[in-house]
Amino acid sequence: MSVTLTPAPDWTGRMDPEDGPDAIRLHQLVKPGARRAVLGFACDAGVKRNKGRVGAKEGPAALRQALANLSAPANALAFSDLGDVAVDGDALEAGQETLANAIRDALSEHERLVVLGGGHETAFASFKGLRKAHPKARIGILNLDAHLDLRLPGEAGGSSGTPFAQIRALDPDRFDYLCVGYAEEANTQALMKRAQDWGVGLVRDHELIADPLAAYPAITDLIARNDFLYLTIDIDVMSHFQAPGVSAPAARGVPFSTIEQIVSFALKTSASLKTPLALADLVELSPVHDRDGVTAKTAAVLARRILMS
C-alpha cells in the first residue's frame, strides 16, 4: 500500500491546422502556470470499502482523454495539469491527506482547481484542502449526487459513502451542505434523518425532473451566505443511459441537460455574488464499466464548462 505523486501526462489529440488559428482543442491549452488547473486522484480504495464497483482509479486518465479533443470556446482559458495523487491498495487516509495538501498548495497558485476522481472519498480530501487554503472562510458545499454520502465511518474507516459526515466532523460549526438530485430509494431512512438533523439542504431528483430550475433558490442561498463555493459532482446523479460507467448506476437519474444547467447557474451565480468557485471535483467515473466512453464524454463536457467559464 502506498501513495505516489505522478507527473502530468502529455496531452495529445486532433490538430486541424488547415482550419486556421481558431481551430483549437483543449489539449492545446495545457501549459504550466495557468490560472486554472486540473489534478487527478487515482483511487479505488473508497469505492471498494463502500462495496461499490471498482474502477474509479482509472477515472482521471479517462477524463483527460475525453477532455483532450473537445473544442475550445471563444476566449478560451489555458489550464495546467498538476498530475495525479495515486493510491495503491487501501492507503486511503494517506492518499486523502496527500491530496488535501496538494489542493492547498495548488490554490495558492491557481484561482480554480478541478479535481478528477476517484470515488466520492475524493470529496473529504477536496474540502480538507480548501479548508487548509482558507482556514477562516465560510465554505458552501454543493453536491450533485443521487446519494447523500452521510454514512458514518465503520471499522475500516472512511469510504466513498462517508465524505460529508467526515467533513461535518472536521468542521461541525460551519457545515453547510446542499445535496441536489438525491434519490429517495438510494438513501436509507437513517441517512435521511441524519440529513434533517444536520440541516442539510435537499433537492430530490423527482423535483428536478418536474422542474429543471427547482434547485436554483437553494443554490443561490448557499452561495450568498458563504465566502467560497465547493462544487462536487458525482456522475451517478445522471441516468444510467447517460452515465453507465459509474460505481452505482442510477435507475432514474437527473437528465444531463438539467445537470449542465445547474452547473452553469452555479458558475454564473458565484460570479455575480462574488463567492468564488475555487474548487470543483468530478467523481465515480469507472471506465471499465463505461460503454463507448459515454460517461467519460458526459463528465468531460461538465469539466470543460467549469474550466473554461
Give me the pLDDT at residue 171, please.
87
Please tell me the total count of domains within the chain. 1
Neighbouring CB atoms inside 10 A of 109's CB total 13
Classified as helix, coil or strand, 287 is helix
Q: Which pLDDT belongs to residue 115?
A: 98
**pLDDT value for 89:** 93
Strand 201-204 relative to strand 177-182: parallel, antiparallel, unpaired? parallel
- 8 Å CB contact between 281 and 234: no
Low-confidence ranges of the chain (pLDDT < 70): none
Taking a C-beta distance cutoff of 8 angstroms, is the pair 23, 16 a contact? yes
pLDDT of residue 35: 97
Question: CA 201 to CA 180: how far, in whole Å?
Answer: 8
| Cis-peptide into 201, omega within 30 deg | no
What pLDDT, in 10s, does the model give residues 247-274? 889 889 999 999 999 999 999 999 999 9
| The pLDDT value given to residue 219 | 98
**Residue carrying the nine cell digits 463507448:** 292
Reading the block at residue 136, the C-alpha cell is 477562516
Q: Which of 236, 201, 243 is nearest to 221 (CA)?
A: 201
d(CA 80, CA 106): 10
Cβ pair 279, 103 in contact under 8 A: yes
Say what the pLDDT of residue 43 is.
97
CATH number at residue 223: 3.40.800.10
Contact 90, 119 (CB under 8 A): no
Predicted confidence at residue 93, as pLDDT, reads 97
Contact 299, 235 (CB under 8 A): yes
* pTM > 0.75: yes
* Residues 6+ away with beta carbon under 8 Å from 102: 5, 39, 82, 85, 129
Q: Give residue 103's domain range.
A: 2-308
Contact 121, 43 (CB under 8 A): yes
Q: How far is CA 272 from the centre of its chain?
A: 22
N-term to C-term CA, the chain? 38
CA distances, 233 to each of 19, 27, 72, 155, 259 (Å): 35, 23, 22, 27, 9
